[in-house]
Chain A
């Protein structure tokens, strides 16, 4: 049976889209919750400085820790994105595997 390139391409696209659609709500929930917390924490540090409860140097150290936490959250989001891309590529490859095996009539891949 000849390989139907257009159908395989469409199936690969659908498989990839399904992966992204499944992962996105979890990533979005994590990002929203963490960004809200980080913004609230930043407001706490600002208040501590404005009310004179901490010195300028202490505020700088608090902000450094805050900056590190924010960067760490962004690295997690980057990693979750890479894992989604990885899963999408593997879902698309799985479609190719099925199509090629069907086309040659036996399990070649």
Chain B
């Protein structure tokens, strides 16, 4: 009798363990990085267009005073505000440190660009030759952020 009760108890414990394992595993699709975020993709695409258009315009019209920092102050205010909003959104997303760090790097690059532009003063412009590496580097930064964001679309 004791042996039968022990066997029944053992079977119940085994089944319970199997169910527990099942419950754990069923919920354990592993995610090591954040989910895809459409607003981030849209914002980054918008910023890329804005920055590239700004640099193309400067390269095509390298004549003071149209090219000077004073004439383009509003661009920096607007763009840095947009990057700041993007940074806040992305810092708040779980498992999203990589994208958040990339946005901080973008912010740092824009601050450097602003200093570079400001340093030209009231009489000089950035030459097309100077703008070429700036465009390439900004586009590499934007491509990097978008490549990672789009890769977060699982199963595609």
Contacts and interface: CB of A to CB of B under 8 A. Distances in A.
A104 B18 contact: yes
Contacts of B29: 90, 93
In the complex, which range does the number of interface residues on chain B fall in? 35 or more
What is the predominant secondary structure among interface residues of chain A facing chain B? helix
A86 interface: yes
Given A54-B130, A58-B130, A64 B25 contact: no
B98 interface: yes
A64 B138 CA distance: 12
Interface of A: 30, 34, 37-38, 40-41, 44-45, 48, 53-54, 57-58, 61-62, 64-66, 68-73, 75-76, 78-80, 82-83, 85-87, 89-90, 93, 96-97, 100, 104, 108-109
List 8 A-B pairs, minimum CB-CB distance, nearest first. Answer: A72-B144, A69-B137, A68-B105, A108-B22, A69-B140, A76-B144, A86-B32, A79-B148
Interface of B: 18-19, 21-22, 25-26, 28-33, 98-99, 101-102, 105-106, 108-109, 112-113, 115-116, 119, 127, 129-130, 132-134, 136-138, 140-141, 143-145, 147-148, 151-152, 154
